[in-house]
Amino acid sequence: MHNCSYCYARSLLDFRGLWNAENPRVADIQKIRRKLEKVPPGTILRLGGMTDCFQPMESQEQITYQTIEQLNEYGIGYLIVTKSHLAGEERYRKLYDPKLAHIQITITCFDDKKALAYEKASSPSKRLRALLKLQEEGFDVTLRLSPLIEEYLDFDHLNRLPVDKVLVEFLRVNGWIKKWFPDLDYQKYVLRQSGYWHLPLEEKIRILKKIHLPLTVCEDVTEHYEYWKQHINPNPLDCCNLRK
């Protein structure tokens, strides 16, 4: 339902007829339960990879809430990745097990009006308040800049935020994203890998120097990932830098 113009998942699923922002399919909680019974101990499951687990319909359907209840029961760790303030609501804060929960809230720009032009998620200001509330209560929380688009990010505002951790994921570009997100200058995206165009490593390093907060980088380009492991990421074996 967020229907983000820059979304790589949307570009993967739209042409297959599997993307319906008006009426998305609701997951079957019974199927989820059966799958969780087979998850090995020590696993951390990501909620919100190809689609957001806190879309507006969660307020009615409660599938994510029920899933987290099951994860708590089985003692399975979970990484929530979302661009919704719902993840910080009181009922969810009471639900999360601090030993199992990791929450990453995505913001692409801090201008509420500008963000609405390319994503139908809750406003960045609401997301930021949710993130800071979760952090205040001691949860493992990360501000996720995903994707980081230099032209849309106020770095001065970012660097003033009292956030403990930042995760960066750069924009990946294909023909679908260029069509939906036409206002960006794509001339710098000159590196081709796995069906997408990416910024060169030197350009990414230049942009990251603008961030003065503790950060880690999630990366698709193989050579770039090796660089982040060696020079940037606090934990070379975990680009999400989850609390142990």
Instruction: Compute CA distances 156 → 14, 91, 105, whole Å.
Output: 36, 33, 19
The DSSP-derived string for 85-127 is GGGGSHHHHHH--TTTEEEEEE-S-S-HHHHTTT--SS-HHHH
Q: pLDDT band for 19, please (50, 70, 90 cuts).
A: confident
Q: pLDDT band for 149, please (50, 70, 90 cuts).
A: very high
For 66-89, give one letter per residue: b (16+ CB within 10 A) or e.
Answer: ebbebbbeeebbbbbbbbbbbbbe
Q: What is the pLDDT of residues 89-101, one digit of tens each?
A: 999 999 999 999 9
- pLDDT of 38 above 80: yes
What is the model's pTM? 0.94
For 160-187, give one letter per residue: b (16+ CB within 10 A) or e.
Answer: eeebebbbbbbbbbeebbeebbeebeee
